[in-house]
Amino acid sequence: LEGYRERCDTSVVLGSRHAKKPIELKIPITIAGMSFGSLSGPAKEALGRGATLSGTSTTTRDGGMTAEERGHSKQLVFQYLPSRYGMNLRDLRRADAIEVVVGQGAKPGGGGMLLGQKISDRVEIG
């Protein structure tokens, strides 16, 4: 509203009670996990850059963590999936936080299918 000038702090800290390195976000909005394979490496990089500029985090999904998104995300949340697709210990250790996925939208407890034509050598390896 015009004339309303009171400062409003939207920052939030995740893990302040138990985490060794809590995540500090400027805004309480995060970028949801979207899989590598559905999104390209440059798209994952763009999400990481945007999240960093906005002061929030971005999240991996199926296909694991890409070098592009890790390199350009100040705060990156690694999703641990029931299928364990794209999961490796190296990426798990490089994440700023871990999100355990229980289900996926209309498919509780299950995961999606990746079309064969989307499985390149890079997607397969992660």
pLDDT at 117: 60
The DSSP secondary structure of 33-92, one letter per residue, reads P--BTTB-HHHHHHHHHHHHHHT--EE--TT---HHHHHH-SSEEEEE-TT-TT--HHHH
**Which pLDDT score, from 0 to 100, does residue 13 have?**
97
* pLDDT at residue 8, rounded to an integer: 84
Mean pLDDT by 10 residues, the chain (126 residues): 75 94 95 88 95 96 88 95 81 93 64 59 56
